[in-house]
């Protein structure tokens, strides 16, 4: 278990869940929203709950997801990391040459607006909604919600088990995504992400595809933009600023999630490939991934009980979790959900 992504297992005989995660129906939501605009949110029973004046029908929201995908040329690159700046158990190295076919990938993580379109079109219920709770970071909940919390995972007390937390209420039942249509959908599991992919005619990227995309054409660099975390003093990603877990001074502009198009894109035109939210990948997670997969279009297909996640999140800090590097890896069970994990989609050419 690691402190930046995992909170703990479900107890009392419930299905094992750790922190990480994302998932939905199509014809009634604003799919692309500018920063600060409102999202049309389906009611929990699938009925309408849109703000007056919001669009009630999107003819083909799923097709719009596919239209936005960016074509990447594929080819060979160095995957992994030989430096000693990661966690040995994560299996970042050794680095090796990997070759990929061309593929397409979303320029940003699936947004609340896109997820709402999926839910409205299908009536899908996420695993967080079905379980009735999800993990929320302690500084993000209201005082009222904080007083109601009775369960805290052992070893990671900054994660709270919040009843009613879900993609539509990220900080608990007194919160909303109404003005966060362009933020990444969170509290979605790997299974939820698969459901969204089925609806949109896409798939999750493999770990190799994700890292190739994150590097943005830069060979051997630490971050999607180079080796300096803040080139010329400029923040390039949404990670923890301050003393974890008690003080986040929001030096990068955000305490929780940021809009999916925040900060500069990498060389491939992809946003937030470091920080903001963890992103699910197709592969099962294995520390010896680099030794167990082939060099051409690698994919780890053996069920290990955990799925790979990449990119780090707004809770990552170099003092305890520097997994916002492009080679960094982590994992979680496929039914896990939490407030700092989402996903982006990909597709074959």
Write down the number of H helices and E strands in the chain: 7, 13
Q: What is the pLDDT of residue 83?
A: 83
Q: What is the pLDDT of residue 40?
A: 56
How far apart, in whole angstroms, are the C-alpha atoms of residue 287 and residue 236?
Answer: 29
Token pair, residue 57, equals: 């029908």
Q: What is the pLDDT of residue 14?
A: 38
- 262-291 tens-digit pLDDT: 999 999 999 999 999 999 999 999 999 988
Q: Does residue 123 contact residue 46 with C-beta atoms inside 8 Å?
A: yes
Q: What is the pLDDT of residue 330?
A: 96
How far apart, in whole angstroms, are the C-alpha atoms of residue 134 and residue 114?
Answer: 21
- 67-87 tens-digit pLDDT: 999 999 999 999 999 887 877
- 246-266 tens-digit pLDDT: 999 999 999 999 999 999 999
How far apart, in whole angstroms, are the C-alpha atoms of residue 234 and residue 211?
Answer: 23
**What domains can you pick out in the chain, each with its CATH number?**
61-348 (3.90.1580.10)
Q: Whose CA is closest to 338, among 204, 179, 108, 160?
A: 160
Task: Please state the pTM of the whole predicted model.
Answer: 0.86
How far apart, in whole angstroms, are the C-alpha atoms of residue 247 and residue 54?
Answer: 37
Token pair, residue 135, equals: 């993990």
Q: In 132-162, which positions are buried (b, 16+ CB within 10 angstroms) versus exposed (e)?
A: ebbbbbbbbbeeebeeebeebbeebebbbbb
**What's the pLDDT band for 55 if we cut at 50, 70, 90?**
very low
Name the β-bridge partners of 309.
280, 330
Token pair, residue 113, equals: 């607006």
How far are the Cα atoms of 1, 75, 252, 263, 321 from residue 234, in angstroms, in the given order?
Answer: 32, 31, 9, 10, 21
């Amino acid at each position: 278990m690691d402190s930046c992504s995992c909170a703990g297992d479900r107890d009392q005989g419930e299905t094992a869940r750790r922190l990480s995660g994302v998932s939905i129906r199509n014809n009634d939501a604003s799919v692309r929203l500018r920063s600060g605009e409102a999202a049309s949110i389906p009611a929990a029973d699938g009925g309408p709950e849109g703000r007056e004046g919001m669009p009630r029908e999107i003819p083909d929201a799923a097709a719009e997801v596919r239209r936005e995908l960016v074509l990447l040329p594929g080819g060979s690159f160095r995957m992994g990391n030989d430096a000693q700046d990661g966690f040995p158990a994560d299996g970042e190295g050794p680095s090796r040459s990997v070759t990929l076919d061309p593929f397409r990938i979303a320029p940003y993580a699936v947004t609340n607006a896109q997820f709402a379109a999926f839910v409205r079109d299908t009536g899908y219920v996420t695993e967080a909604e079905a379980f009735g709770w999800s993990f929320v970071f302690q500084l993000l909940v209201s005082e009222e919600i904080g007083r109601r919390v009775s369960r805290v995972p052992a070893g990671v007390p900054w994660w709270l088990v919040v009843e009613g937390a879900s993609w539509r209420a990220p900080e608990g039942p007194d919160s909303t995504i109404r003005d966060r249509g362009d933020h990444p959908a969170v509290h979605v599991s790997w299974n939820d992400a698969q459901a969204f992919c089925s609806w949109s005619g896409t798939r999750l990227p493999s770990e190799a595809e994700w890292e190739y995309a994150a590097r943005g054409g830069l060979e051997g660099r630490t971050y999607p933009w180079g080796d300096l975390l803040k080139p010329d003093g400029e923040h390039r990603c949404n990670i923890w600023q301050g003393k974890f877990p008690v003080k986040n001074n929001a030096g990068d502009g955000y305490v929780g999630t940021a809009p999916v198009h925040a900060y500069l894109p990498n060389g491939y035109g992809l946003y937030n490939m470091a920080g903001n939210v963890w992103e699910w990948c197709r592969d099962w997670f294995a520390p010896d991934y680099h030794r167990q997969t082939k060099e051409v279009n690698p994919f780890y297909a053996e069920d290990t009980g955990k799925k790979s996640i990449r990119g780090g999140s707004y809770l990552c800090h170099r003092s305890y979790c520097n997994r916002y590097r492009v080679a960094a890896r982590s994992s979680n069970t496929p039914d896990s959900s939490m407030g700092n994990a989402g996903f982006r989609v990909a597709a074959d050419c």
